[in-house]
Chains A and B, each alone.
Chain A
């Protein structure tokens, strides 16, 4: 090996070994069984992407979903809402959720808080069943997904996208929230806006 090959070999192994052998997750289940936790997280990520429905066109949206609105770019506003507030479920990886689903009372309180914030035009709740149904329509070829794998959420429509930061900050410390996503930031820098003071999980729960 040349010196550069040796350096590369050593550096790559040094990085690789920062992932300890004992940290490896068990093998994923075969299709037909319940989703492994890891995949459920991915499903959640895909669910976030459904907010815009941008890759699948308007036909995927049902009549009761927000209508298409004109926006400055092709990646935004197709779903209609600006901020998605994903709520804690038993599958949530966020430690602050404590593997407990948010209660209906808590959802109502969050919706009331959100509706009272400056710049908020509309707030509506998407249940796990609704989220599941929409996910199935949009990702018909995706792995076995069940009700509960896609979290419930509060969808917030703003008078202007510039209120997104304020809204997220105002809700950040409220209990019952797993993640918040600024949907308008699609195509920009990372969009995830975790509740403040909440450490993001790096390993398994």
Chain B
């Protein structure tokens, strides 16, 4: 199935290094986005698998990390959108009371509120406050301008605060 791909030297070392350095953070990011541990692990594995396959097409290999971050976010979006194709039981999200994993009620409320935001706002906030990315890095990952990141983040925070106030 790889016949359309020109031969290229195995980039194993670099991709493996990238995996060792960032996969855990990305799985956790995907867990926050999907609420499903298995889906989170799958998203990251698939993203790195995709990096292997597309390595020869990457013009700037310094941007491999951005590629993987974007790929993980894309897969998280797909997981949310096409949850019906999952072959695992529909489990409550990890932050829910039912999952009994997150014990702090306030934290559960914050994450639940985050998941009521529009997708782009949620992504921008998670990239900023979980991965601690800069505006420029978020812009590259999401494929938008720095200004859009700034306004999306700001609107997301305001909406989050409003939702939490309404619920108190």
Contacts from A to B (Cβ < 8 Å): 2, 4-5, 7-19, 21, 24-25, 27-32, 36, 38-39, 41-42, 44-46, 48-49, 86, 136, 140-145, 179, 181, 185-192, 194, 200-203
Contacts and interface: CB of A to CB of B under 8 A. Distances in A.
A54 to B, nearest CB: 11
A8 B45 contact: no
B130 A189 contact: no
Contact of A8 (B20, B88, B125): B125
Nearest to B47: A28
Contacts of B52: 28-31
Contact of A38 (B15, B42, B164): B42
Contact of B85 (A17, A49, A189): A49
Nearest to A180: B87
A38 to B, nearest CB: 4
A2 B160 CA distance: 13
Nearest to B2: A31
Given A15-B32, A36-B45, A24 B107 contact: no
B102 A15 contact: yes
9 contacts: A2-B157, A18-B94, A18-B102, A28-B49, A28-B52, A144-B2, A145-B1, A190-B83, A192-B86
Given A16-B130, A24-B24, A41-B42, A192 B89 contact: yes
B41 to A, nearest CB: 6
B31 A15 contact: yes
Interface in B123-145: 125-126, 129-130
A16 B41 contact: no
Contacts of A15: 28, 31-32, 94-95, 102, 107, 111
A19 to B, nearest CB: 5
A159 B24 CA distance: 48
Q: Which of A16, A31, A179 has the most CB of B within 10 A?
A: A16
Contact of B87 (A2, A19, A179): A179
